[in-house]
Amino acid sequence: MHVLPTPFPWYLSGPATGMCVSGMYALTNKHMGISGSFGSLVTMASSKGRVISWRVTFLLGTVIGAALVAILGGSPQTGLEYGTLSEHLSLPALVLVLFAGSVLIGYGARMAGGCTSGHGITGCATRSPGSFVAVSIFVVTAVLVTLVLNALTGWAV
């Protein structure tokens, strides 16, 4: 049932994302960020919090939204597929790389106080100086590491 033309062009997705950010602030006075939502999950899991945060319903929403797009527009990455990375790596190696990389992402996001959404979009939209720095640093680092990895492995897509 592929009734939804995907991928959406950037000039639809970008402003729609921006509307989520400004909408959350304008209606609820909340600073939208996904890594903060993961933080709430971790806090809840470590039993400190019995109260379910709005961040958790936001996170659930992103899962539902993704599922809607996958159902209506198709998803090229299902089951155990992970794009071209799963062509290059065996499944155990892939899981290992993804897990190790995710630990770095979680650690770094917690340390920097946000991620590509909380600093990258919301923090820049509130003109937060720390967010500008965090975004510049993680984009530059990620691009450099990717270019080095591409040169070493020859796996560039």
Q: Do 98 and 88 touch, CB atoms closer than 8 A?
A: no
Site for other proteins in 48-87 (CB under 8 A): 52, 54-55, 57-70, 73, 75-85
Sorted by sequence, the CB contacts under 8 Å of residue 4 that are 6+ apart come out as: 69, 72, 73
Site for other proteins in 118-137 (CB under 8 A): 118-131, 133-137
Sign of the torsion formed by the C-alpha atoms of 18, 23, 24 and 29: positive
**Cα–Cα distance measured from residue 115 to residue 31, given in angstroms and rounded to the nearest whole number:** 12
Question: With contacts defined by CB under 8 A, how many residues of the chain interact with other proteins?
Answer: 125
CB of 100 to other proteins, least distance (A): 7
Site for other proteins in 87-116 (CB under 8 A): 94-95, 97-116
Q: Which is nearer to other proteins, 9 or 90 (CB)?
A: 9
Site for other proteins in 9-48 (CB under 8 A): 9-42, 45-46
**Cα–Cα distance measured from residue 7 to residue 65, given in angstroms and rounded to the nearest whole number:** 14
